Structure 1
Amino acid sequence: MTAASPLAGHRTIVVGGSTGIGRGIADAWAAAGAEVIVCSRRRPTGAGAERLGWEHVDLTDPELTRSRLRRLAADPVNAVCFSSVHYGARRAPFSDVREQEWRDQLEVNTTGLWLTLAATLPALRAAAPGLFLGVSSEVAFNAGPGRSGYAASKAAAKALLDSVAQEEDSTRVRIVQVLPAGMVDSPGIRSRRPADFDYSSYMRPADFAAVATELAATAGDKHHGDCLVVGDNGQWWSAYDSAPVSQSRPVRR
Protein backbone atom coordinates (compact mmCIF):
# COMPACT_ATOMS: atom_id res chain seq x y z
CA MET A 1 0.00 0.00 0.00
CA THR A 2 1.21 3.50 -0.88
CA ALA A 3 -0.21 6.98 -0.46
CA ALA A 4 -1.01 6.97 -4.18
CA SER A 5 -2.57 3.51 -4.06
CA PRO A 6 -4.09 3.06 -0.59
CA LEU A 7 -6.16 0.06 -1.73
CA ALA A 8 -3.42 -1.82 -3.55
CA GLY A 9 -3.96 -5.55 -3.03
CA HIS A 10 -7.60 -5.10 -2.00
CA ARG A 11 -10.28 -7.20 -3.65
CA THR A 12 -13.68 -5.50 -3.75
CA ILE A 13 -17.21 -6.10 -5.08
CA VAL A 14 -19.75 -3.41 -5.96
CA VAL A 15 -23.31 -4.65 -6.47
CA GLY A 16 -25.06 -2.06 -8.61
CA GLY A 17 -21.85 -0.39 -9.73
CA SER A 18 -22.44 0.27 -13.42
CA THR A 19 -23.98 3.73 -12.90
CA GLY A 20 -24.89 6.24 -10.19
CA ILE A 21 -23.41 6.29 -6.70
CA GLY A 22 -22.26 2.68 -7.03
CA ARG A 23 -20.25 3.61 -10.11
CA GLY A 24 -18.70 6.55 -8.28
CA ILE A 25 -17.60 4.18 -5.51
CA ALA A 26 -16.35 1.54 -7.96
CA ASP A 27 -14.30 4.13 -9.86
CA ALA A 28 -12.87 5.52 -6.61
CA TRP A 29 -11.80 2.10 -5.38
CA ALA A 30 -10.23 1.24 -8.74
CA ALA A 31 -8.38 4.58 -8.84
CA ALA A 32 -7.01 3.81 -5.36
CA GLY A 33 -5.52 0.53 -6.60
CA ALA A 34 -8.18 -2.05 -5.71
CA GLU A 35 -9.39 -4.90 -7.86
CA VAL A 36 -13.06 -4.02 -8.42
CA ILE A 37 -15.72 -6.41 -9.63
CA VAL A 38 -18.99 -4.74 -10.58
CA CYS A 39 -22.12 -6.89 -10.36
CA SER A 40 -24.97 -5.46 -12.39
CA ARG A 41 -27.39 -6.13 -15.22
CA ARG A 42 -25.37 -4.02 -17.66
CA ARG A 43 -21.63 -3.80 -18.20
CA PRO A 44 -20.03 -0.52 -17.03
CA THR A 45 -19.20 1.82 -19.90
CA GLY A 46 -17.48 5.15 -20.35
CA ALA A 47 -14.36 6.63 -18.80
CA GLY A 48 -12.69 4.29 -16.32
CA ALA A 49 -14.72 1.22 -17.28
CA GLU A 50 -11.58 -0.55 -18.45
CA ARG A 51 -10.40 -0.70 -14.82
CA LEU A 52 -13.52 -2.51 -13.66
CA GLY A 53 -14.26 -6.22 -13.79
CA TRP A 54 -17.86 -7.19 -14.46
CA GLU A 55 -20.24 -10.02 -13.62
CA HIS A 56 -23.80 -10.14 -14.88
CA VAL A 57 -26.13 -10.16 -11.87
CA ASP A 58 -29.87 -9.51 -11.96
CA LEU A 59 -31.27 -9.14 -8.44
CA THR A 60 -34.74 -10.10 -9.64
CA ASP A 61 -33.26 -13.56 -10.34
CA PRO A 62 -32.38 -14.88 -6.86
CA GLU A 63 -30.78 -18.12 -8.05
CA LEU A 64 -28.47 -16.30 -10.47
CA THR A 65 -27.61 -13.71 -7.81
CA ARG A 66 -26.89 -16.34 -5.17
CA SER A 67 -24.65 -18.45 -7.40
CA ARG A 68 -22.67 -15.55 -8.89
CA LEU A 69 -22.04 -13.84 -5.57
CA ARG A 70 -21.07 -17.06 -3.80
CA ARG A 71 -18.56 -17.80 -6.56
CA LEU A 72 -17.09 -14.30 -6.37
CA ALA A 73 -16.87 -14.56 -2.57
CA ALA A 74 -15.19 -17.97 -2.56
CA ASP A 75 -11.96 -16.10 -1.78
CA PRO A 76 -11.48 -13.37 0.84
CA VAL A 77 -12.95 -9.98 -0.05
CA ASN A 78 -11.81 -6.76 1.60
CA ALA A 79 -14.85 -4.63 0.84
CA VAL A 80 -18.35 -5.05 -0.57
CA CYS A 81 -20.66 -2.20 -1.56
CA PHE A 82 -24.38 -2.66 -2.15
CA SER A 83 -25.73 0.21 -4.26
CA SER A 84 -28.45 -1.40 -6.37
CA VAL A 85 -31.77 0.41 -6.31
CA HIS A 86 -35.19 0.26 -7.91
CA TYR A 87 -36.89 3.66 -7.64
CA GLY A 88 -40.12 2.88 -9.46
CA ALA A 89 -41.57 4.55 -12.53
CA ARG A 90 -42.25 7.92 -10.87
CA ARG A 91 -43.38 9.50 -7.64
CA ALA A 92 -47.06 8.67 -7.24
CA PRO A 93 -49.70 8.28 -4.51
CA PHE A 94 -49.94 4.81 -2.99
CA SER A 95 -53.23 4.02 -4.75
CA ASP A 96 -51.71 4.74 -8.16
CA VAL A 97 -48.79 2.32 -7.80
CA ARG A 98 -49.00 -1.15 -9.30
CA GLU A 99 -48.37 -4.14 -7.06
CA GLN A 100 -45.59 -5.30 -9.40
CA GLU A 101 -43.66 -2.08 -8.78
CA TRP A 102 -43.86 -2.71 -5.02
CA ARG A 103 -42.60 -6.26 -5.50
CA ASP A 104 -39.74 -5.07 -7.71
CA GLN A 105 -38.68 -2.49 -5.11
CA LEU A 106 -38.64 -5.13 -2.38
CA GLU A 107 -36.82 -7.63 -4.63
CA VAL A 108 -33.99 -5.25 -5.47
CA ASN A 109 -33.73 -2.81 -2.56
CA THR A 110 -34.28 -5.23 0.31
CA THR A 111 -34.03 -8.88 -0.77
CA GLY A 112 -31.09 -8.07 -3.05
CA LEU A 113 -29.27 -6.64 -0.05
CA TRP A 114 -30.13 -9.74 2.02
CA LEU A 115 -28.75 -12.04 -0.69
CA THR A 116 -25.57 -9.97 -0.96
CA LEU A 117 -24.98 -10.07 2.78
CA ALA A 118 -25.62 -13.82 2.94
CA ALA A 119 -23.16 -14.51 0.12
CA THR A 120 -20.34 -12.15 1.10
CA LEU A 121 -20.20 -11.89 4.90
CA PRO A 122 -18.08 -15.07 5.25
CA ALA A 123 -15.49 -13.66 2.84
CA LEU A 124 -15.46 -10.31 4.64
CA ARG A 125 -14.97 -12.04 7.98
CA ALA A 126 -12.00 -13.89 6.46
CA ALA A 127 -10.42 -10.51 5.58
CA ALA A 128 -10.68 -9.54 9.29
CA PRO A 129 -11.72 -6.82 9.16
CA GLY A 130 -13.76 -6.56 6.00
CA LEU A 131 -16.02 -3.65 5.11
CA PHE A 132 -19.65 -3.87 4.03
CA LEU A 133 -20.77 -0.51 2.65
CA GLY A 134 -24.49 0.03 2.07
CA VAL A 135 -25.85 2.95 0.06
CA SER A 136 -28.92 4.26 1.84
CA SER A 137 -31.23 7.25 1.30
CA GLU A 138 -32.66 10.11 3.33
CA VAL A 139 -36.07 8.55 2.69
CA ALA A 140 -35.13 5.78 5.15
CA PHE A 141 -35.19 8.50 7.84
CA ASN A 142 -37.93 10.77 6.53
CA ALA A 143 -40.42 8.73 4.46
CA GLY A 144 -42.47 11.03 2.25
CA PRO A 145 -45.50 11.30 -0.04
CA GLY A 146 -45.36 9.63 -3.42
CA ARG A 147 -42.53 7.33 -2.40
CA SER A 148 -44.22 4.78 -0.14
CA GLY A 149 -42.70 1.68 -1.72
CA TYR A 150 -39.25 3.20 -2.13
CA ALA A 151 -39.33 4.56 1.42
CA ALA A 152 -40.50 1.28 2.94
CA SER A 153 -37.96 -0.86 1.09
CA LYS A 154 -35.05 1.49 1.83
CA ALA A 155 -36.06 1.78 5.50
CA ALA A 156 -36.14 -2.02 5.68
CA ALA A 157 -32.70 -2.18 4.07
CA LYS A 158 -31.31 0.30 6.60
CA ALA A 159 -32.83 -1.67 9.48
CA LEU A 160 -31.36 -4.88 8.09
CA LEU A 161 -27.85 -3.39 8.04
CA ASP A 162 -28.32 -1.76 11.45
CA SER A 163 -29.31 -5.12 12.89
CA VAL A 164 -26.47 -7.06 11.28
CA ALA A 165 -24.02 -4.40 12.48
CA GLN A 166 -25.12 -5.13 16.05
CA GLU A 167 -24.57 -8.85 15.50
CA GLU A 168 -21.14 -8.73 13.86
CA ASP A 169 -17.84 -8.60 15.70
CA SER A 170 -16.31 -5.32 14.53
CA THR A 171 -12.82 -6.83 14.63
CA ARG A 172 -13.95 -9.07 11.75
CA VAL A 173 -16.61 -7.13 9.81
CA ARG A 174 -17.56 -3.47 9.90
CA ILE A 175 -20.82 -2.27 8.42
CA VAL A 176 -21.24 1.34 7.38
CA GLN A 177 -23.96 3.10 5.41
CA VAL A 178 -23.69 6.25 3.28
CA LEU A 179 -26.33 8.44 1.71
CA PRO A 180 -26.37 11.63 -0.36
CA ALA A 181 -27.32 14.96 1.22
CA GLY A 182 -29.15 15.91 -1.99
CA MET A 183 -30.31 14.52 -5.29
CA VAL A 184 -27.63 12.84 -7.42
CA ASP A 185 -27.33 13.17 -11.18
CA SER A 186 -27.51 9.60 -12.48
CA PRO A 187 -29.09 7.71 -15.39
CA GLY A 188 -31.84 6.43 -13.11
CA ILE A 189 -32.79 9.95 -12.06
CA ARG A 190 -32.47 11.31 -15.60
CA SER A 191 -34.96 8.73 -16.83
CA ARG A 192 -37.54 10.34 -14.54
CA ARG A 193 -36.87 14.00 -15.47
CA PRO A 194 -37.85 16.18 -18.47
CA ALA A 195 -35.31 16.45 -21.28
CA ASP A 196 -34.63 20.13 -20.47
CA PHE A 197 -34.16 19.62 -16.69
CA ASP A 198 -31.34 21.59 -15.07
CA TYR A 199 -29.02 19.31 -13.05
CA SER A 200 -26.56 22.01 -12.02
CA SER A 201 -27.62 21.83 -8.35
CA TYR A 202 -27.43 18.04 -8.21
CA MET A 203 -24.62 16.04 -6.64
CA ARG A 204 -22.38 13.78 -8.74
CA PRO A 205 -21.44 10.13 -8.12
CA ALA A 206 -17.80 11.26 -7.80
CA ASP A 207 -18.78 13.13 -4.60
CA PHE A 208 -18.62 9.72 -2.89
CA ALA A 209 -15.00 9.05 -3.90
CA ALA A 210 -13.32 10.44 -0.78
CA VAL A 211 -15.54 8.75 1.80
CA ALA A 212 -15.55 5.44 -0.08
CA THR A 213 -11.76 5.39 -0.37
CA GLU A 214 -11.20 6.28 3.29
CA LEU A 215 -13.72 3.70 4.50
CA ALA A 216 -12.16 0.96 2.39
CA ALA A 217 -8.60 1.90 3.37
CA THR A 218 -9.49 1.81 7.09
CA ALA A 219 -12.07 -0.99 6.81
CA GLY A 220 -14.58 1.43 8.31
CA ASP A 221 -12.59 1.97 11.50
CA LYS A 222 -14.51 4.17 13.98
CA HIS A 223 -17.63 4.09 11.78
CA HIS A 224 -19.01 0.58 12.37
CA GLY A 225 -22.80 0.84 12.60
CA ASP A 226 -22.85 4.47 11.48
CA CYS A 227 -24.77 6.07 8.62
CA LEU A 228 -22.84 8.89 6.95
CA VAL A 229 -24.41 11.74 5.01
CA VAL A 230 -22.24 12.83 2.07
CA GLY A 231 -22.40 16.40 0.76
CA ASP A 232 -21.69 17.79 -2.69
CA ASN A 233 -18.28 18.97 -1.53
CA GLY A 234 -17.26 15.41 -0.65
CA GLN A 235 -17.44 16.07 3.10
CA TRP A 236 -19.43 13.71 5.31
CA TRP A 237 -21.02 13.55 8.76
CA SER A 238 -23.07 11.13 10.82
CA ALA A 239 -26.81 11.16 10.19
CA TYR A 240 -27.20 10.68 13.94
CA ASP A 241 -25.46 14.01 14.58
CA SER A 242 -27.29 15.94 11.87
CA ALA A 243 -30.28 14.24 10.28
CA PRO A 244 -30.53 14.20 6.49
CA VAL A 245 -32.90 16.73 4.94
CA SER A 246 -36.05 15.38 3.32
CA GLN A 247 -36.22 15.56 -0.47
CA SER A 248 -39.98 14.93 -0.54
CA ARG A 249 -42.38 17.26 -2.28
CA PRO A 250 -46.15 17.31 -2.77
CA VAL A 251 -47.40 14.82 -5.32
CA ARG A 252 -49.73 16.03 -8.02
CA ARG A 253 -52.66 13.77 -8.70
Structure 2
Amino acid sequence: MELKGRVAVVTGGTRGVGAGIARSFTKAGAEVVVCARRPPEVLLPGTEFAPLDVRDADAVGQFFEKLPRLDVLVNNAGGAPYRLLADADAARHARVVELNLLAPLTVSLAAYEGLRRARGSVVMIGSVSGARPSPGTAAYGAAKAGLESLARSMAVEWAPDVRVNTLVVGMVRTELASLHYGDEDGVAAVARTVPLGRLAEPSDVGAAAVFLASDAAAYLTGSSLLVHGGGERPAFLDASTAHKET
Protein backbone atom coordinates (compact mmCIF):
# COMPACT_ATOMS: atom_id res chain seq x y z
CA MET A 1 0.00 0.00 0.00
CA GLU A 2 2.64 2.49 -1.14
CA LEU A 3 1.67 6.12 -1.73
CA LYS A 4 5.14 7.37 -2.61
CA GLY A 5 5.09 10.54 -4.67
CA ARG A 6 1.38 11.15 -4.19
CA VAL A 7 -0.07 14.31 -2.67
CA ALA A 8 -2.83 13.97 -0.09
CA VAL A 9 -4.96 16.63 1.59
CA VAL A 10 -6.44 15.74 4.98
CA THR A 11 -9.03 18.17 6.31
CA GLY A 12 -9.09 18.47 10.08
CA GLY A 13 -5.72 16.74 10.02
CA THR A 14 -4.03 18.45 12.94
CA ARG A 15 -5.31 16.31 15.82
CA GLY A 16 -7.25 13.18 16.74
CA VAL A 17 -8.34 10.91 13.93
CA GLY A 18 -7.17 13.38 11.31
CA ALA A 19 -3.64 13.44 12.72
CA GLY A 20 -3.63 9.64 12.76
CA ILE A 21 -4.62 9.58 9.11
CA ALA A 22 -1.97 12.16 8.19
CA ARG A 23 0.68 10.18 10.05
CA SER A 24 -0.28 6.97 8.25
CA PHE A 25 -0.13 8.68 4.88
CA THR A 26 3.35 10.05 5.51
CA LYS A 27 4.53 6.59 6.57
CA ALA A 28 3.17 5.27 3.26
CA GLY A 29 5.32 7.83 1.42
CA ALA A 30 2.76 10.49 0.56
CA GLU A 31 3.27 14.24 0.70
CA VAL A 32 0.57 15.41 3.10
CA VAL A 33 -1.12 18.78 3.51
CA VAL A 34 -3.24 19.07 6.65
CA CYS A 35 -5.96 21.72 6.82
CA ALA A 36 -7.70 23.22 9.82
CA ARG A 37 -8.87 26.59 11.08
CA ARG A 38 -6.04 26.76 13.60
CA PRO A 39 -2.43 25.52 13.32
CA PRO A 40 -1.38 22.48 15.35
CA GLU A 41 0.68 22.89 18.49
CA VAL A 42 3.24 20.58 16.91
CA LEU A 43 3.31 19.97 13.15
CA LEU A 44 3.56 16.30 12.29
CA PRO A 45 6.86 15.41 10.58
CA GLY A 46 6.48 15.15 6.84
CA THR A 47 3.33 17.28 6.69
CA GLU A 48 2.57 20.83 5.62
CA PHE A 49 -0.11 22.94 7.31
CA ALA A 50 -2.57 25.16 5.48
CA PRO A 51 -5.13 27.27 7.38
CA LEU A 52 -8.60 26.60 5.99
CA ASP A 53 -12.22 26.77 7.12
CA VAL A 54 -13.91 24.05 5.08
CA ARG A 55 -17.25 25.88 5.42
CA ASP A 56 -15.87 28.88 3.48
CA ALA A 57 -16.50 27.97 -0.18
CA ASP A 58 -14.40 30.84 -1.56
CA ALA A 59 -11.40 30.00 0.61
CA VAL A 60 -11.75 26.29 -0.24
CA GLY A 61 -11.82 27.06 -3.96
CA GLN A 62 -8.75 29.29 -3.76
CA PHE A 63 -6.85 26.67 -1.78
CA PHE A 64 -7.37 23.90 -4.34
CA GLU A 65 -6.72 26.21 -7.31
CA LYS A 66 -3.22 26.82 -5.94
CA LEU A 67 -2.38 23.14 -5.44
CA PRO A 68 -0.11 21.99 -8.28
CA ARG A 69 -1.11 18.35 -7.78
CA LEU A 70 -3.68 16.35 -5.83
CA ASP A 71 -3.98 12.57 -5.67
CA VAL A 72 -6.02 11.96 -2.52
CA LEU A 73 -8.59 13.95 -0.57
CA VAL A 74 -9.55 12.80 2.91
CA ASN A 75 -12.69 14.57 4.13
CA ASN A 76 -12.11 14.19 7.85
CA ALA A 77 -13.07 17.59 9.31
CA GLY A 78 -16.25 17.39 11.35
CA GLY A 79 -17.70 16.68 14.76
CA ALA A 80 -20.48 17.89 17.02
CA PRO A 81 -21.12 18.77 20.66
CA TYR A 82 -23.56 16.74 22.73
CA ARG A 83 -26.89 18.51 22.32
CA LEU A 84 -30.37 17.05 22.60
CA LEU A 85 -32.66 18.05 19.75
CA ALA A 86 -35.12 20.03 21.89
CA ASP A 87 -32.30 21.95 23.58
CA ALA A 88 -31.45 24.02 20.49
CA ASP A 89 -33.20 25.60 17.53
CA ALA A 90 -33.04 24.25 13.99
CA ALA A 91 -30.42 26.79 12.92
CA ARG A 92 -27.93 25.49 15.47
CA HIS A 93 -28.47 21.89 14.37
CA ALA A 94 -28.12 23.03 10.76
CA ARG A 95 -24.59 24.21 11.49
CA VAL A 96 -23.68 20.65 12.46
CA VAL A 97 -25.07 19.40 9.15
CA GLU A 98 -23.15 22.15 7.34
CA LEU A 99 -19.84 21.06 8.82
CA ASN A 100 -20.32 17.32 8.47
CA LEU A 101 -22.14 17.07 5.13
CA LEU A 102 -22.15 20.30 3.13
CA ALA A 103 -18.49 21.10 3.81
CA PRO A 104 -17.24 17.72 2.48
CA LEU A 105 -19.36 18.34 -0.63
CA THR A 106 -17.87 21.81 -1.02
CA VAL A 107 -14.33 20.51 -0.59
CA SER A 108 -14.84 17.56 -2.94
CA LEU A 109 -16.23 19.78 -5.71
CA ALA A 110 -13.31 22.18 -5.36
CA ALA A 111 -10.85 19.26 -5.48
CA TYR A 112 -12.51 17.46 -8.39
CA GLU A 113 -10.43 18.79 -11.30
CA GLY A 114 -7.14 18.04 -9.56
CA LEU A 115 -8.31 14.56 -8.60
CA ARG A 116 -9.60 13.88 -12.10
CA ARG A 117 -6.26 14.80 -13.67
CA ALA A 118 -4.45 12.46 -11.27
CA ARG A 119 -7.12 9.74 -11.47
CA GLY A 120 -7.15 10.02 -7.70
CA SER A 121 -9.54 9.19 -4.90
CA VAL A 122 -11.69 10.65 -2.16
CA VAL A 123 -11.95 9.07 1.29
CA MET A 124 -14.93 10.24 3.32
CA ILE A 125 -14.71 9.79 7.08
CA GLY A 126 -18.15 8.59 8.08
CA SER A 127 -19.45 7.29 11.38
CA VAL A 128 -21.46 4.44 12.82
CA SER A 129 -23.73 7.24 14.08
CA GLY A 130 -25.06 7.47 10.54
CA ALA A 131 -26.52 3.96 10.71
CA ARG A 132 -28.01 3.85 14.22
CA PRO A 133 -29.88 6.17 16.59
CA SER A 134 -27.62 8.96 17.77
CA PRO A 135 -29.32 10.64 20.75
CA GLY A 136 -27.52 13.82 21.73
CA THR A 137 -25.87 14.06 18.33
CA ALA A 138 -28.86 13.50 16.06
CA ALA A 139 -27.89 16.14 13.50
CA TYR A 140 -24.39 14.67 13.34
CA GLY A 141 -25.77 11.18 12.75
CA ALA A 142 -28.10 12.46 10.04
CA ALA A 143 -25.23 14.29 8.36
CA LYS A 144 -23.02 11.20 8.41
CA ALA A 145 -25.83 9.12 6.90
CA GLY A 146 -26.07 11.72 4.16
CA LEU A 147 -22.31 11.72 3.67
CA GLU A 148 -22.27 7.99 2.98
CA SER A 149 -25.10 8.38 0.47
CA LEU A 150 -23.32 11.33 -1.14
CA ALA A 151 -20.15 9.27 -1.53
CA ARG A 152 -22.00 6.46 -3.30
CA SER A 153 -23.60 8.86 -5.78
CA MET A 154 -20.34 10.75 -6.25
CA ALA A 155 -18.56 7.47 -6.98
CA VAL A 156 -20.95 6.72 -9.84
CA GLU A 157 -20.89 10.23 -11.30
CA TRP A 158 -17.10 10.56 -11.14
CA ALA A 159 -16.16 7.08 -12.30
CA PRO A 160 -13.87 5.99 -13.81
CA ASP A 161 -11.67 9.04 -13.18
CA VAL A 162 -12.05 9.43 -9.40
CA ARG A 163 -12.75 6.73 -6.84
CA VAL A 164 -14.87 7.68 -3.81
CA ASN A 165 -15.19 5.52 -0.69
CA THR A 166 -16.26 5.93 2.93
CA LEU A 167 -14.71 4.77 6.19
CA VAL A 168 -17.53 4.13 8.66
CA VAL A 169 -15.71 4.74 11.93
CA GLY A 170 -16.70 3.63 15.40
CA MET A 171 -15.35 4.81 18.74
CA VAL A 172 -11.77 6.08 18.64
CA ARG A 173 -9.40 6.76 21.51
CA THR A 174 -8.02 10.25 20.90
CA GLU A 175 -6.70 13.02 23.13
CA LEU A 176 -10.34 14.11 23.56
CA ALA A 177 -11.66 10.67 24.53
CA SER A 178 -12.16 11.70 28.15
CA LEU A 179 -14.76 14.28 27.06
CA HIS A 180 -16.90 11.48 25.65
CA TYR A 181 -16.11 8.47 27.81
CA GLY A 182 -14.78 9.82 31.12
CA ASP A 183 -11.62 8.69 32.92
CA GLU A 184 -9.61 5.54 32.25
CA ASP A 185 -12.22 3.39 34.00
CA GLY A 186 -14.90 4.91 31.77
CA VAL A 187 -12.86 4.27 28.64
CA ALA A 188 -12.27 0.67 29.75
CA ALA A 189 -15.98 0.16 30.41
CA VAL A 190 -16.89 1.49 26.97
CA ALA A 191 -14.18 -0.66 25.37
CA ARG A 192 -15.80 -3.77 26.82
CA THR A 193 -18.87 -3.11 24.68
CA VAL A 194 -16.76 -3.54 21.53
CA PRO A 195 -16.25 -7.14 20.33
CA LEU A 196 -12.51 -6.60 19.83
CA GLY A 197 -12.28 -5.31 23.40
CA ARG A 198 -10.81 -1.89 22.74
CA LEU A 199 -11.48 1.46 21.13
CA ALA A 200 -9.81 2.15 17.79
CA GLU A 201 -6.57 4.06 17.72
CA PRO A 202 -6.22 6.89 15.18
CA SER A 203 -3.63 4.72 13.44
CA ASP A 204 -6.28 2.04 12.84
CA VAL A 205 -8.37 4.56 10.91
CA GLY A 206 -5.25 5.84 9.18
CA ALA A 207 -4.27 2.38 7.95
CA ALA A 208 -7.74 1.83 6.51
CA ALA A 209 -7.63 5.22 4.79
CA VAL A 210 -4.25 4.40 3.24
CA PHE A 211 -5.70 1.14 1.92
CA LEU A 212 -8.64 2.89 0.25
CA ALA A 213 -6.33 5.49 -1.30
CA SER A 214 -3.81 2.93 -2.56
CA ASP A 215 -3.66 0.77 -5.66
CA ALA A 216 -4.60 -2.19 -3.44
CA ALA A 217 -8.14 -0.77 -3.56
CA ALA A 218 -8.08 0.04 -7.28
CA TYR A 219 -11.41 -1.73 -7.87
CA LEU A 220 -13.16 -0.21 -4.87
CA THR A 221 -15.43 2.78 -5.37
CA GLY A 222 -18.76 3.58 -3.80
CA SER A 223 -17.82 1.26 -0.94
CA SER A 224 -18.26 1.66 2.80
CA LEU A 225 -15.59 0.04 4.98
CA LEU A 226 -16.56 -0.53 8.61
CA VAL A 227 -13.79 0.36 11.06
CA HIS A 228 -15.56 -0.31 14.35
CA GLY A 229 -13.99 -3.36 15.98
CA GLY A 230 -17.05 -5.49 15.31
CA GLY A 231 -19.58 -2.82 16.26
CA GLU A 232 -21.46 -2.94 19.53
CA ARG A 233 -22.38 -6.02 21.50
CA PRO A 234 -26.19 -6.38 21.21
CA ALA A 235 -27.83 -5.19 24.42
CA PHE A 236 -30.31 -8.07 24.43
CA LEU A 237 -27.47 -10.55 25.00
CA ASP A 238 -26.42 -8.84 28.23
CA ALA A 239 -30.06 -8.41 29.30
CA SER A 240 -30.70 -12.11 28.72
CA THR A 241 -27.63 -13.13 30.73
CA ALA A 242 -28.58 -10.79 33.60
CA HIS A 243 -32.10 -12.24 33.65
CA LYS A 244 -30.77 -15.79 33.97
CA GLU A 245 -28.40 -14.80 36.78
CA THR A 246 -31.26 -13.39 38.85
Q: Which interval holds the TM-score relative to the shorter structure?
A: 0.7 to 0.9
Residue of structure 2 in register with 1:109 after alignment: 100
Q: Does 1:198 align with 2:179?
A: no
Residue of structure 1 in register with 2:7 after alignment: 11
Determine which of 171, 176, 180 is the counterpart of 2:165: 176
Determine which of 115, 125, 129 is the counterpart of 1:124: 115
Residue of structure 2 in register with 1:84 after alignment: 77
Gaps of 5+ in 1: 233-241, 249-253
Structure with the higher fraction of residues in helix conformation = 2
Q: Does 1:186 align with 2:174?
A: yes
User: Contact 2:8–2:73 (CA<8 Å) still a contact in 1?
Assistant: yes
Determine which of 127, 140, 157 is the counterpart of 1:167: 157
- Aligned positions of 1:208-227 closer than 5 A: 208-218=205-215, 220-227=217-224
Shift of 1:144: 3.1
User: Contact 1:135–1:179 (CA<8 Å) still a contact in 2?
Assistant: yes
CA distance in 1, matches of 2:92, 2:217: 34
Determine which of 32, 35, 52 is the counterpart of 1:39: 35
SS at the partner of 2:127? coil
Shift of 1:97: 2.7
Shift of 1:152: 1.4
User: Contact 2:171–2:228 (CA<8 Å) still a contact in 1?
Assistant: no
User: Contact 1:26–1:52 (CA<8 Å) still a contact in 2?
Assistant: yes
Cα deviation digits, residues 146-167 of structure 1 (max 9, x gap): 3221111111222211111121
Seen in structure 2, the aligned counterparts of structure 1 residues 184 and 85 have a Cα distance that, compared at 3 Å, is same
CA distance in 1, matches of 2:19, 2:210: 13
User: Contact 1:142–1:246 (CA<8 Å) still a contact in 2?
Assistant: no
Residue of structure 1 in register with 2:195 after alignment: none
User: Contact 2:181–2:187 (CA<8 Å) still a contact in 1?
Assistant: no
CA distance in 1, matches of 2:234, 2:36: 27
Gaps of 5+ in 2: 192-198, 236-246
User: Contact 2:122–2:213 (CA<8 Å) still a contact in 1?
Assistant: no
User: Contact 2:178–2:187 (CA<8 Å) still a contact in 1?
Assistant: no
User: Contact 1:59–1:112 (CA<8 Å) still a contact in 2?
Assistant: yes
Percent of aligned pairs with the same amino acid: 26
SS at the partner of 1:95? helix
**Given the two structures, how large is their TM-score scaled by the length of structure 2?**
0.81
Determine which of 21, 24, 44 is the counterpart of 1:49: 44
**Which has more radius of gyration?**
2
Seen in structure 2, the aligned counterparts of structure 1 residues 71 and 141 have a Cα distance that, compared at 3 Å, is same
Cα deviation digits, residues 205-230 of structure 1 (max 9, x gap): 01123222222221731221100012
Q: How many residues align?
A: 226
Shift of 1:60: 3.5
CA distance in 2, matches of 1:247, 1:55: 42
